[in-house]
Amino acid sequence: MRIFVFLVLLTVAIGTENLNSHVFPRPLIIEYPEKQLRDELKCTTWRFVVETNNLSPWKTIPEECADYVKEYMVGPGYKMEIDRVSDEAGEYAKSVDLGDDGRDVWIFDVDETLLSNLPYYSDHRYGLEVFDDVEFDKWVENGTAPALGSSLKLYQEVLKLGFKVFLLTGRSERHRSVTVENLMNAGFHDWHKLILRGSDDHGKTATTYKSERRNAMVEEGFRIVGNSGDQWSDLLGSSMSYRSFKLPNPMYYIL
């Protein structure tokens, strides 16, 4: 008898659930592949550590993060982040009370700051390959690197505000003419000075070389009010700017 009553109640309960299923739908449970989620979180964490300069010098991106870095660089994430950094830099530039002596300077790095080498790195797996300076020099000598749109906007803004613009790049002096042509074709004009590595600078780390050049600016009486670069070596060292703006770059690291 007890079994009969249980079966009747169970039948009624199931029937009621079916009748009311359109009113109280069961929750949809989605199970993500555990390895896919773990790999994505690992690569997100790796990029965070890279951008905060908490990772010791590295030569290539992790093998398992190749797709992650590619999707970041060609997707909306990279553009949104460089736009945000440039917008913040622009707001800061507008807030500065410039002197009347024309000695307030904004420094820009060139590669991955004003000009994008993404076409080159798309052919070299977005940083998965060890950097080849010979191949990269061939790309530089083509003179076809496009402008980063938000950086061009910031560049034009700081010029209009009255800053002196110094371009401080790790490119070699022998690439001066092609660099000038590439910059001008990309929309960059009217800089005060373009500084490239001379013969005495080869062998120096980027941090040392750029610090020495900034020291020289200060000795000449310039005030380094702003500095934009994609590498920490563009920003750290001696004679640092009043404020520095780090653009994202998970494809390579320069000491």
Structure tokens at 234: 């563009």
Residue 228: what pLDDT? 98
- Please choose, from the candidates 226, 111, 123, 128, the residue with its C-alpha nearest in 3D space to the C-alpha of residue 172: 111
**pLDDT reading at 44 higher than 60:** yes
What's the chain's Rg over C-alpha atoms? 27
Percent of the chain with pLDDT over 90: 84
Across residues 63-92, what is the average pLDDT? 97
- Please choose, from the candidates 242, 253, 227, the residue with its C-alpha nearest in 3D space to the C-alpha of residue 114: 227
Cα angle, residue 25 at apex, residues 19 and 26 outer, rounded to 5°: 115
pTM: 0.86
**pLDDT reading at 16 higher than 70:** no
**pLDDT reading at 180 higher than 80:** yes
Residue 14: what pLDDT? 46
Cα 144 off chain centre by: 20
Residue 10: what pLDDT? 44
- Going from the C-alpha of 178 to that of each of 90, 94, 173, 235, the distances in angstroms are 28, 32, 10, 25
CA–CA distance, 115 with 186 (Å, rounded to integer): 8
| C-alpha neighbours within 13 Å on the C-beta side of residue 242 | 15
Residue 241: what pLDDT? 98
Residue 34: what pLDDT? 72
Residue 28: what pLDDT? 55
The tens digit of pLDDT for each residue in 197-247 reads: 999 999 999 999 999 999 999 999 999 999 999 999 999 999 999 999 999
Of the pLDDT bands very low, low, confident and very high (cuts 50, 70, 90), residue 38 is confident
